[in-house]
Amino acid sequence: MTKIYGILAHPARHSLSPAIFNAAFLAEGINARYEVFDVESLEKFLKMLARGRKISRLENSSPGYICGLSVSLPYKESILKYLDEMSEDVRAIGACNTVKITDIQNSDGSAKKIASGFNTDWIGFIEALKEKIASVKELNVVVLGAGGAARAIVYGLIKEGAKVVVLNRTVEKAAKIAKDFENIRADGGTTEGNRADENNRATERDRAIESDRADIQFGALEELENFKCDVLVQATSVWLDEKEVDFVSEEYLQKNKPLVFDIVYKPLITPLLQSALNSGCKIITGDKMLLNQAVKQFEIWFDKKAPKEVMSKAMNTDH
């Protein structure tokens, strides 16, 4: 039976994911097909396919078995309540972009399916960054935006030990990220979790944990001029509907010469990246994050190394 994978999003028509994954399935000789589930209502979609609450029951009404989903806007948060289990990253970030459906056996021998949620956005971002910069530790990074993608990116940066400033149009959302992640430690896990486990250990150890607290500040987009940075990350959705933005000036880019990473990949060279190139800055385009998060998604679904070259080529020929 052909295994079915797909992207669950709205709109999803212009997604590059079918080209990326179908090329990977072909190259690896996997009997699977990647489809587009462009649905206006997550609830209706799940009801229609499953007549039940959990994603793990989707396979009943599909011509193949649904074994995995890439989840995109606007369902990354709302999918959480339909999962049977989720990774620590999903719990911390509050968003899931990868669902894996696995068969498990009950103790009475009967079979059931489990839907597990993962987040590969932060891994895709960090991997793409590390292709240009050997170590992220201690880097000063400004992230513009505080939506779902920015949350995943900030989570990854904090885990890697970067010093992060989050700036957003709606400042409250940037403040919430700073609050939510203040206890994430550079080596993963939370200080609170560790404290609970080691309650009776010496204060010396506690002080070390204290100094490991996330270095994270927040503010409004207009405050960018106040923060020098090594890396500037553009994680708003601004290019979707606006050709010009005024929250990053060429003067700022010329003065600080940051590495500029715009995670938007349509267009590939956004106006900000063009401005960065004009100012002599190095850049990273959004397709690098997309590719690396897809590679990780493949590895979660199939427990083996992804054919990254094939996936990259498929993505580029589909532009």
Binding mask 287-306 for ligand NAP (x = CB under 6 A): --xx--x-------------
Minimum distance from residue 290 beta carbon to ligand NAP (Å): 4
CB of 262 to ligand NAP, least distance (A): 9
Question: Binding of ligand NAP at residue 286 (CB under 6 A)?
Answer: yes
Footprint (CB under 6 A) of ligand NAP, residues 133-192: 145-150, 168-170, 173
The sheet with strand 32-38 has its strands ordered as 32-38, 3-9, 65-71, 98-105, 111-118, 85-86
User: Which residue, 25 or 239, is less far from ligand NAP as judged by CB?
Assistant: 239
Give the span between the Cα atoms of 258 and 54, in whole angstroms: 45
Verify binding: residue 120, ligand NAP, rule CB under 6 A.
no
- Scanning 19-27, 46-54, 133-141, 263-271 for contacts with ligand NAP by CB under 6 A, the matching segment is 263-271
Q: Which DSSP symbol is given to 190?
A: B
Task: Find the binder of ligand NAP among 88, 187, 225, 242 (CB under 6 A).
Answer: 242
> Is 116 or 168 the residue whose CB approaches ligand NAP more closely?
168
3-state secondary structure string across 46-80: HHHHHCCCCHHHHHHHCCCEEEEEEECCCCCCHHH
Question: Angle, nearest 10°, between helix axes 148-159 and 171-180?
Answer: 40
For ligand NAP, the binding residue among 6, 117, 124, 307 (CB under 6 A) is 124
Find out whether 247 and 231 touch, Cβ atoms under 8 Å: no
CA nearest 71: which of 112, 28, 115?
A: 115
Residue 238 contacts ligand NAP per CB under 6 A: yes
Report the distance separating Cα 104 and Cα 68, nearest Å. 15
Nearest alpha-carbon partner for 233 in 119, 170, 156:
156
264 binds ligand NAP (CB under 6 A): yes
- 233: contact with ligand NAP by CB under 6 A: no
Q: Is 44 exposed, middle or buried (0-12, 13-18, 19+ CB in 10 A)?
A: exposed
Query: Does 33 interact with ligand NAP (rule: CB under 6 A)?
Result: no
Q: Which residues bind ligand NAP (CB under 6 A)?
A: 73, 121, 124, 145-150, 168-170, 173, 235-238, 240, 242, 263-265, 286, 289-290, 293
